[in-house]
Chains A and B, each alone.
Chain A
Amino acid sequence: MPELTAEIDRLCLTIEIGEMPVRVHTTDPFFLNLLQDRYAGFVNSSEHAEIDLDVEIAPPGSGDPDAPVHVTCQRGRWTLQRGDFFAEWEPASRHGWIRQTANPYSIDAVLRIVHTLVLATEGGFLLHAASAIRNGKAFLFAGVSEAGKTTISRLAPPDVTLLTDEISYVRRQGIGYVAFGTPFTGELAKLGENVSAPIAALYLLAKGDENRIDSIAPGDAARSFLANVLFFAKDEELVQATFHSTFEFISRVPVFRLTFVPDARVWELIG
């Protein structure tokens, strides 16, 4: 039945972030279009997927997106819950299920959580950091809200490729680490480029009255890094894995304090 096949094909798409293709299945064409717009540049029609997510659309108006997130695991099955969605994720089958309204924010949160869960087992992580590529090398700019992630992204000169102004995607590859572009945006509201590069340095952002790069004690680097790692799950094994991954990263990637004034000259220090 070719018609049926065509309809099924039309109602799934693959969102590939960090070279991890996630195929989303839905019966709602409006939601599919919404995802295509939201993840433009990260959507493809690849047959290959590492993760499959079925989305069940709930009636409008249900749930509070500002409610706290709960991520728990029982007998190998993760439950992800916030006011505006309920999801389950089974790593063994690489399959998940989401119930949410037709909006891009709920699935965005689920994608972030699922990516952190998968990355935690591989030595990678999502980090509260802007990131960008210059001269073939990636640079991360970490900091909490108001630290300057969006500002430094906005100040980037034309030869810089922006990966994200908000959430950096880091995977371990060989003896080093690679940063990938993400569609997870901050105030800049601009999707990152879907490209990647080896990470050359991590800068901890601080606003000041001059542009300056300072070395930082390893312990301070680790504490700052840990404060910026996105991790949602209450799971001892994964918490311990992420903790050790942090120290592996710190031991392999140079970490500095970058103090900057909000003008483009700060980029003279980068790259």
Chain B
Amino acid sequence: MSKLYIARSPRVAARSLGGEMMIMSGRDSTLFTLNQTASILWRAADGFTPLEEIVQQKICSEFEVDPAEALQDAETLARELAGHQILQISEQPIPPPGASGEAR
């Protein structure tokens, strides 16, 4: 199975407020509020850490979950976020853009 890489889309604006990660699409102004798992993926989506490694380091260490099941769920979630153009997803490392959409 090939590795999957995820990166934050540069075409969104993101802010963390009161423990919530909120993201707005620059394309159509749609507002998304990420749940805890999605927020973890978003923060860790640097484009060069494989999703599998993110799941092991950030999700399995935080929650009592089966690693294989967690990876499958994370992949589904990542594809869903990519469908909303919040995340970029690739089987190759994703080079960083000029600037990230997240201000803090």
> How near does chain A come to B90, taking the closest CB pair, in angstroms?
21
Mask for A186-222, Cβ within 8 A of B = 1, else 0?
0000000000000000000000000000000111001
Q: Does B79 contact A (CB under 8 A)?
A: no
Given pairs A218-B18, A247-B17, 19 additional interface contacts (CB within 8 A): A217-B18, A219-B18, A219-B19, A219-B22, A219-B33, A222-B15, A223-B31, A223-B33, A231-B29, A235-B26, A237-B26, A239-B13, A239-B29, A240-B12, A240-B101, A243-B13, A243-B24, A244-B103, A250-B17
B-contacting residues, A210-259, CB 8 Å: 217-219, 222-223, 226, 231, 234-237, 239-240, 243-244, 247, 250
Chain B residues near A234 (CB, 8 Å)?
27-28
Given A219-B22, A219-B33, A222-B22, are A243 and B15 also a contact pair (CB < 8 Å)?
Answer: yes
Q: In the complex the two chains form, is A244's CB within 8 Å of B13's CB?
A: yes
Q: Does B11 contact A (CB under 8 A)?
A: yes
Chain B residues near A219 (CB, 8 Å)?
17-20, 22, 33
Q: Which 8 pairs, one residue from A and one from B, show the smallest C-beta to C-beta distance?
A: A236-B26, A218-B18, A240-B13, A219-B20, A243-B13, A243-B24, A239-B26, A247-B15
Mask for B9-43, Cβ within 8 A of A = 1, else 0?
00111010111101011111101010000000000
Chain B residues near A240 (CB, 8 Å)?
12-13, 24, 26, 101
Which residue on chain A has the smallest CB distance to residue B21? A219
Which residue on chain A has the smallest CB distance to residue B25? A239
Q: Using C-beta atoms within 8 Å of the partner chain, give the interface range for chain B.
A: 10 to 19
Q: In the complex the two chains form, is B24's CB within 8 Å of A239's CB?
A: yes
Which residue on chain A has the smallest CB distance to residue B26? A236
Helix, strand, loop or mixed for chain A's interface? Answer: helix
Expressed in whole angstroms, the Cα–Cα distance for A237 and B99 within the complex equals 12
Given A236-B26, A239-B29, A244-B103, are A218 and B11 also a contact pair (CB < 8 Å)?
Answer: no
Which residue on chain A has the smallest CB distance to residue B31? A226
Which residue on chain B has the smallest CB distance to residue A218? B18
Expressed in whole angstroms, the Cα–Cα distance for A67 and B12 within the complex equals 28
> How near does chain A come to B62, taking the closest CB pair, in angstroms?
21
> How near does chain A come to B100, taking the closest CB pair, in angstroms?
11
Chain B residues near A236 (CB, 8 Å)?
11, 26-27
Expressed in whole angstroms, the Cα–Cα distance for A222 and B28 within the complex equals 18
Which residue on chain B has the smallest CB distance to residue A251? B17
Expressed in whole angstroms, the Cα–Cα distance for A223 and B33 within the complex equals 9
Given A219-B20, A219-B22, A222-B22, are A244 and B15 also a contact pair (CB < 8 Å)?
Answer: yes
Chain A residues near B31 (CB, 8 Å)?
223, 226
Chain A residues near B20 (CB, 8 Å)?
218-219
Chain A residues near B26 (CB, 8 Å)?
235-237, 239-240
List 19 interface pairs A-B (beta carbons < 8 Å), by A numbering: A218-B20, A219-B18, A219-B22, A219-B33, A223-B22, A223-B31, A231-B29, A234-B27, A236-B11, A236-B27, A239-B26, A239-B29, A240-B12, A240-B13, A240-B26, A240-B101, A243-B15, A243-B24, A247-B15
